[in-house]
Amino acid sequence: MEYQATIGLEIHIELKTRTKMFCSCKNDPDEKHPNINICPICTAQPGTLPVINKEAIRKTIKSGLALNCQIASHSFFERKNYFYPDLPKGYQISQYSTPLCAI
């Protein structure tokens, strides 16, 4: 039996935005103290909903254009539920079926 390797890449980018992707907490990857830049939204407290960061969307589209990507005219985020020890909220907000930028 022969197998054909299929290799997928998951590529992440860290945008230099003033606030986080889904709340107004300061985006400071150099913060040395734990639990400083957090709020009920980014800790997924019951009753909270994420709000998209327009600056991040603008920079994502700008990056996509620089990489010659197709920019979607319509896109949305999905909630991917799974257990992971360092993910106490139990889900990740992701783009699966309609990414903003694609090749």
d(C-alpha 26, C-alpha 14), whole Å:
14
23 vs 101, beta carbon nearer Zn ion: 23
**Residue 91 — φ and ψ, nearest 5°?**
-150, 160
28 vs 78, beta carbon nearer Zn ion: 28
Count the site residues for Zn ion by CB under 5 A.
5
Among 42, 61, 72, 93, binds Zn ion (CB under 5 A): 42
Tokens of 87: 């993910």
Binding flag, residue 25, Zn ion (CB under 5 A): yes
Q: What 3-state class would DSSP assign to 55? A: helix
Applying CB under 5 A, the residues found at the interface with Zn ion are: 23, 25, 39, 41-42
